[in-house]
Chains A and B, each alone.
Chain A
Amino acid sequence: MTTAAPVHSYFGAFGGRYVPETLIGALDELEAAFTSAVVDPAFLSELDGLLASYVGRPTPLYRARRLEEAAGHPEIYLKREDLNHTGAHKINNTMGQAMLALRMGKRRIIAETGAGQHGVATATACALFDLDCVVYMGEEDIERQALNVYRMKLLGAEVRTVSSGTRTLKDATNEAIRDWVTNVRDTHYIIGSVVGPAPFPRMVRDFQSVIGREARAQMLETAGQLPGVVIACVGGGSNAMGIFHPFVDDVGVSLVGVEAAGEGLDSGRHSASLSSGSPGVLHGSLSYLLQSDDGQVAPAHSVSAGLDYPGVGPEHSFLKDSGRARYVSVDDDEALEAFHRMSRLEGIIPALESAHALAYVLRDGASHAPESPILVCLSGRGDKDVASVASRAG
C-alpha cells in the first residue's frame, strides 16, 4: 500500500491520516494486522475467551428502578461496563490491541491516559501478555488521579509525567505520538479512544462494539424491545461509539452523546468539541475541535479527567453532521450532583465521566417517550474519583 489515506480512512468528511511521514509504514502495518486478525478464527476465539474469563464479559444489563423514579422515566437500563476487570470499558480495546501488537511482533507498548483508566487497562494487558509498557500522563491528571497512577506502577508500567502545554490528556497524547515516531519499529501505540489517524478510530470502535452488541441482545431479551434512546458520555468517544455502533442501523433508536460543559459552554472552560467546536486537525484526524480563530487548539476543561480533551473521534463528527446522533452537554456541577445521587440511589459510584451521561438522564430523562426504554452506558466506576471529589467538597 503506498497511499497515505485509503478511502475507508474517512467517516464522511472526517478522519484521515494526518501524521508525520515516519508513521505511515506503521499505520499500514497495523491496518494489515487488524484486517487479517478480525477474520482469523483463532484470534477472535482467543479474544472472546479472554473477554469472558479475564475481563468478565458479558457485563450485566441492570434495570435502575430508583433512578427511574428520580429521573421521571419508567424504564431505564444501565450497561454495567463499570463491572469489567479494571473498572471501565477501556480494557475491551486494550486486550484486542495488545494481541495485535503480539501479532506484529512488537513487544513495547505505549499509551496516553487522562483519567488513568486507559493507562490501567493498558498496563493490565501488558502484564498479562508480558509486554513492556510506558504510559504518558499529564501532570495535572497525575495529581487528580493518584490512585490510578499507583495502580499502573503496581502492574509494572512506567508512568511518564507530561508537563508541557495543558498538562492533561491532549499533551499526553502529543508526547505518546512523539515516542511512537521515535520508536516506531519495535513499539505499538495503544490509543485509548476512537481518535487518532486511521485505522485507530475504526479499530477501537470495533473492539468497543462488544458493549453495544451485548446490550442490544440483552435489551431484546430483558425489555423485549430495543431502547428508544441510547445515552453515553463523550470525551474522545470510545464508550459512546462502542455502544452506539450496533444501533446505528436501528432507525427507531435515538443516539445521544453527552459532552462535558465544564464551567459552562459560555465560560470558555469546557470540553464540548461537538457542541461548540469547529472542524480541524489534531492527533492525526479531521474532526470537531476546540480551537482559536487562528487555528491554535484551545485548552479543554472538565472536572472529569477522561473527558478533558479538545477533540473528539471523527465518527462522532460524522454522526453529528449526518443527524444520526445528537450531542448535548452537562456541566461540572451537574455531573458532580449525579455522582452523589447515583451513589445513594443505586449504590453505584459512577466514574465522573459516566456521571455526565447519568446527569443528562436525571435532567432530561422525562422528556424521552415513556413507552420506549432508555439505555445508558455506565462506562466506569468512580473509585478513582472519590479522593478528588472529597477534596473538592472540602
Chain B
Amino acid sequence: MTGRSIAEAFSSRASRGQAALVPYVTAGYPGLDDTGAVLDALADAGGDVLELGIPFSDPLADGPTIQRSSFESLENGTTVARVLQALRDFRGRRDTPVVLFTYLNPVLRYGFKAFLADAVDAGAQGLLLTDLPTGADPDLEEAVPDAGLDLIRLVAPTTAVERIGTVATGGGGFVYYISRTGVTGERQELSSSLADEVANVRSVVDLPVAAGFGIATPDQAAQVAGLADGVVVGSGVIKALGSGGVDGARDFIASLRRGMDGD
C-alpha cells in the first residue's frame, strides 16, 4: 500500500489535540528476522511515525542501549539491503510513515543516490542521518528531498539561535529537537528548560517539532506531549524489546500512548 506522509501523521494527531508518537527501533534486533513483527507492533500500539535504524559499527551519537542493539543486529547479519527489504514487506501491510535512521557511512558505501532511490521504492518517507548536520554537505542534503524523502533535521540545545532557522531549511516532515546534550538513552528527569527551548524552536520553524533523547516513561511522554508536536522514544523501545520481545515493545508504546492521551 502507499505510505502516509509524515506531515499527515502529525496533522491528524494535531487535529485531535494530540501529539504524535515516534518510536525508534534498530532493524535486525533482537533477531535478524524480527524487524517486520516489531514494526507492525509499534504501528498498531500507536506509533504515528516509525524510525527504523540501520545499524552502524560506530554509533557515536548513541548511548549504551542503542549501541548494544546495533552491535547485536550486525552480528545477526543485518545489511542495508535486508533493512530495505523488511521495510518493503512492512509497506505491504501498513501505511504508517517510516523514517530511515542511520549514519552517513553505510549510505555512502551503498551509493548515496542509489540508496535514496531504493529507500523510496521500499516505501520510506524520511531519512535522518545523525552525522550530516545542516550545511555539512549541501550536495547530499539537497539530493534527499530531490529523491522525494523528507530530510529530518535535528536541533540541539547548543544550536545557536540564529542557526535554528537555517537548520530547518531544506528539512521536511518534522524537526527533531534533542532535549538534552548527550547521546541517546533514558534519563531520570527531563530538562527543566525544555518547555522554553521547544517553544523557541517552534516559533522559528514551520515544521512540527518532535522532542526526544531520554524519554522513558508514560509520565515523561505526557509532559513532552504537552510541549511539542511529537514525542520521540528510542532506547526505551530497545529496552522493552530486549526484556519482553515484540509484546514488550507493543505494551511499552501503548503505555506511552495512553500517558500522552491522558487515559
Contacts and interface: CB of A to CB of B under 8 A. Distances in A.
Given A2-B166, A165-B71, A281-B104, A294 B58 contact: no
Nearest to A311: B58
Contacts, number: 130
Chain A CB within 10 Å — which of B71, B131, B162, B166 has the most? B131
A280 to B, nearest CB: 5
Given A16-B136, A21-B159, A281-B105, A165 B183 contact: no
Given A165-B71, A174-B58, A295-B109, A18 B135 contact: no
B159 A294 contact: no
Contacts of A171: 58
Nearest to A17: B136
A18 B131 contact: yes
Interface in A13-57: 16-26, 28
Interface string A268-298: 0000000000011111100001010111110
Interface string A165-202: 10000110010011001111100000000000000000
Given A185-B181, A280-B105, A295-B80, A24 B131 contact: no
Contact of B181 (A165, A182, A294): A182
B131 A284 contact: yes
Contacts of B79: 294
B136 A25 contact: no
A172 B112 CA distance: 28
A5 interface: yes
A3 interface: yes
Contacts of B166: 2-3
Contact of B135 (A2, A20, A291): A2
A5 B135 contact: yes
A164 interface: yes
B134 interface: yes
B132 interface: yes
A297 B105 CA distance: 9
B101 interface: no
Interface stretch (B60-68, B117-125, B219-227): B60-68
B228 to A, nearest CB: 17
Interface stretch (B36-44, B87-95, B150-158, B253-261): B150-158
B159 A19 contact: no
B158 to A, nearest CB: 4
B106 A294 contact: yes
Interface residues of A, number: 41
Contacts of B105: 280-282, 289, 291, 295-297
B104 A177 contact: no
A70 to B, nearest CB: 41
A146 interface: no
B6 interface: no
A183 B104 contact: no
B58 A282 contact: yes
Given A21-B154, A174-B58, A297-B57, A280 B133 contact: no
B174 interface: no
A265 interface: no
Interface string B166-186: 110000000000100111000
Nearest to A3: B135
Nearest to A175: B60
Given A2-B163, A181-B183, A282-B105, A22 B58 contact: no
B165 to A, nearest CB: 9
A4 interface: yes
Contact of B137 (A16, A174, A295): A16
B163 A178 contact: no
Contacts of A295: 56, 80, 105-110
A279 B157 CA distance: 32
Chain A CB within 10 Å — which of B57, B61, B104 has the most? B57
Given A3-B166, A4-B135, A296-B105, 7 more contacts: A4-B136, A5-B135, A19-B131, A19-B136, A181-B183, A295-B108, A297-B57
Interface of B: 56-61, 63, 67, 71, 74, 79-80, 103-110, 130-137, 154-160, 162-163, 166-167, 178, 181-183
7 contacts: A3-B135, A18-B136, A22-B181, A25-B159, A184-B181, A284-B131, A295-B108
Interface of A: 2-5, 16-26, 28, 164-165, 170-171, 174, 177-178, 181-185, 279-284, 289, 291, 293-297
- 3 A-B pairs with least C-beta separation: A295-B109, A295-B106, A4-B135
